[in-house]
Chain A
Amino acid sequence: MRDETIKIAWKSVTKSFGRKTVLEGLDLVAYEGRSLVIIGGSGTGKSVTIKLALGLLRPDSGSVEIDGEAVEYGRENDPGVQQIGMLFQSGALFDSLSVWENVSFRLLHAEHVKKGEAKERAIAALDQVDLEADIADRRPAELSGGMQRRVALARAVVGKPNILFFDEPTTGLDPVTADLINQLIVRQVKTLGATAVTITHDMASMRAIADEVAMIRDGNILWHGDLEGVDSCENPTVCDFVAGRYSPEG
Chain B
Amino acid sequence: MSLPNPFRATGRGVLALMRSAGAITLFAAAAVFAMVRPPYFLGQLLSQIWRIGFLSLPVVGLTAIFTGGALALNIYTGGSRFNAESFVPNIVALGIVRELGPVIAALMLAGRVSAGIAAEIGAMRATEQIDALHTLSTDPMRYLIAPRVLAGVLVLPILVAIANVIGVLGGFAVSTTSLGFDGAIYVQNTVDILTRWDVVSGLIKATVFGFLLTVMGCYHGYNAAGGAQGVGRATTNAVVGAAVLIFAANFLLTSWFV
CA distance A105 to B132 in the complex (A): 10
Determine whether B133 belongs to the interface, using a CB cutoff of 8 Å to chain A.
yes
Closest to A165 in B: B135
Partner of A110, one of B129, B131, B132, B138: B138
Taking A94-B129, A109-B143 as contacts, is the C-beta distance between A84 and B138 under 8 angstroms? no
A88 on interface, CB distance cutoff 8 Å = yes
With an 8 A cutoff between CB atoms, is B258 at the interface?
no
Among A132-157, those with CB < 8 Å from B are 155
A62-97 interface code vs B (CB 8 A; 1 in, 0 out): 000000000000001111000011101111111100
Tell me which of B127, B129, B134 contacts A76 (CB under 8 A). Answer: B134
Evaluate contact between B136 and A90: CB separation under 8 angstroms: no
Report the nearest B residue to A74, measured CB to CB. B134
- Cβ–Cβ contact A92 & B127, under 8 A: yes
**Is B129 in contact with A109, judged by CB distance below 8 angstroms?**
no
Give the residue name and chain of the B residue nearest to A112 (CB): B39
A210 CB–B CB distance under 8 Å: no
Residues of chain B with a CB closer than 8 A to A51's CB: 131
Q: In the complex, are the beta carbons of B134 and A105 less than 8 A apart?
A: no
Give the Cβ gap from A241 to chain B, nearest Cβ, in Å. 26
Bound-state CA distance A175–B143 (Å) is 37
Interface residues of B in 103-157 (CB under 8 A from A): 124, 127-129, 131-139, 143
Cα A155 to Cα B135 with chains together (Å): 11
Contact with A along B53-65 (1 / 0, CB 8 A): 0000000000000
User: In the bound complex, do residue B136 and residue A106 qualify as a contact, i.e. CB atoms below 8 Å apart?
Assistant: yes
A77 x B132 contact (CB < 8 A): no
Does B133 contact A76, Cβ atoms closer than 8 Å? Answer: yes
Give A56 to B139 CA distance when docked, in angstroms.
12
CB pair A105 B131 closer than 8 Å: no
Docked pose: A106 CA to B136 CA in angstroms? 5
- Residues in B neighbouring A91, C-beta threshold 8 A: 127
Size of A's binding interface in residues, CB under 8 A: 25
- The answer to whether the Cβ of B41 comes within 8 Å of any Cβ in the partner chain is yes
Judge whether A84 and B135 touch: CB under 8 Å.
Answer: yes
CB nearest to B129 among chain A residues: A92
Q: Give A110 to B132 CA distance when docked, in angstroms.
A: 13
Contact status of A90 and B128, CB under 8 A, knowing A109-B41, A109-B143? yes
Which residues of A are found within 8 Å of B39, using beta-carbon distances?
109
| Residue with the greatest number of chain A CB neighbours at <10 A, chosen from B136, B138, B139 | B136
Smallest beta-carbon distance A80→chain B, Å: 9
Q: Which residues of A contact B134 (CB under 8 A)?
A: 54-56, 76-77
Instruction: Enumerate chain B residues within 8 angstroms of A88, measured Cβ to Cβ.
Output: 128, 131-132
Q: In chain B, residues 18-60, which have Cβ atoms closer than 8 Å to a Cβ of chain A?
A: 39, 41
Report yes or no: B137 in contact with A90, Cβ–Cβ below 8 A: no
On whether the beta carbons of A106 and B137 are closer than 8 Å, the reply is yes
The one of B124, B127, B129, B135 that contacts A54, using a Cβ cutoff of 8 Å: B135
What residue of chain B has the Cβ atom nearest to residue A156's Cβ?
B135
| A78 contacts B137, C-beta separation under 8 Å | yes
Q: How far is the CB of A94 from the nearest CB of chain B, in Å?
A: 6
Among A79, A89, A94, chain B packs the most CB atoms within 10 A around the CB of A94
Question: In the complex, which of the residues B41, B124, B128, B143 has the most CB atoms of chain A within 10 Å of its own CB atom?
Answer: B128
Nearest CB of chain A from residue B138's CB, rounded to whole Å = 5
Which residues on the A side are within 8 Å of B124 (C-beta)? 94
CB distance A77 to B41 under 8 Å?
Answer: no
Give the residues in chain A near B133, CB-CB below 8 Å. Answer: 76
- Report the separation of the CA atoms of residues A109 and B143 in the bound assembly, to the nearest whole angstrom: 9
Contact status A105-B138, CB under 8 Å:
yes
- Not counting A54-B134, A76-B139, A155-B136, a sample of 4 additional A-B residue pairs whose C-beta atoms are within 8 angstroms of each other reads A51-B131, A92-B127, A105-B136, A109-B136
**Cross-chain pairs A/B with CB under 8 angstroms, 8 sampled:** A56-B135, A76-B137, A78-B137, A86-B132, A88-B132, A92-B129, A106-B136, A109-B137
> 4 tightest A-B contacts by CB?
A110-B137, A92-B128, A92-B132, A86-B135
Please report B residues at the A interface, Cβ cutoff 8 Å.
39, 41, 124, 127-129, 131-139, 143
